[in-house]
Amino acid sequence: MADTALVLGAGGVTGTAWETGILHGLAKAGVDLSTADLIVGSSAGAIVGAQLASGLVAVGELYERQLAGPGSEQEPVARLGPVTVLRYARAVMSSRTPEEYGRRLGTLARESRTGATAAGRREMIVSRLPTSVWPDRHLLVTAVDASTGALHTFDRTATVPLADAVTASCAVPAVWPVVVAGGGSWIDGGVHSPANAHLAAGYERVVVIAPTAGGSRVIASPRAQAAELEAAGARVEVITPDAGARKAIGRNSLDPARRAPAARAGLAQSVAHTEAVAAVWNG
């Protein structure tokens, strides 16, 4: 088996902030997860994963950026409206596999008008990345094929630029535009599962940081995927938001006004996980 893997899950604007707070707190306590041999990033986790893998910005600085508040970037407040939430629920109930669910949400995404242009959304993602060049590190960025519903991973061998891969991974259906890149059309990597922790199969020590803890009848939860990794012989630690973090995150994970509270909640929560993560990470 290979050695260490860090899995960073989907969770919107607040998920990015909370993950960063967790990582900063662990690093302050002497557990630096940026040293992972593999980083898997989905949606929010794709942004954080690309930031970490670049090696250009310390996690402490990334945390401070989360505290800057929504006014630092003219970022719109997005949300899943009640009609969209209902369509998501219908897609789950009428699907038998993650791929079927992905196809249904791909159709929804293609049919929906969003408040952002594809170019504008890409520019917003670029503003969050230290570089648009793929890092030498083993970084996997997930996205879902809007036509087939299949999970896809981009890495440094891809012909798709890093910025396009991360934008695709963050393309929440019916909120942000479908991303057309590399001959395909892509939606959010979190559509397949909140963490996609199964991509860490074959690694001995795995830490999963997942802002979205739940699953559904067709979507595997982070803990369910972690159990499969453990059954295959891996040591795994899963971190999902505690009660304080859930309160800080609020009901709309896409609200930039909740970014700073979510980051602080992640930092506070990290204390409770330091010992367990260190035991896994340090063998």
Which active-site residues does the annotation give?
Answer: 43, 188
Angle between helices 259-270 and 59-66 (to 10 degrees): 140
Are the C-beta atoms of residues 211 and 10 closer than 8 Å to each other? yes
Contact between 46 and 189 under an 8 Å Cβ cutoff? The reply is yes
How long is the chain? 283
Euclidean distance between CA atoms 140 and 45, whole angstroms:
10
Q: What is the largest CA-CA distance in the chain?
A: 49
The answer to whether residues 108 and 188 touch, using CB atoms and an 8 Å cutoff, is: no
202 Rama sector, left if φ>0, alpha if ψ -120 to 50, beta otherwise: left
> Which is nearest to 209 in space by CA: 2, 3, 6, 4?
6
CA nearest to 207, candidates 62, 60, 64, 27 = 27
| Residue showing tokens 């939860």 | 221
Q: What is the DSSP string of 120-175?
A: HHHHHHHTT-S-SSPPSS-EEEEEEETTT--EEEE-TTSSS-HHHHHHHHT--TTT
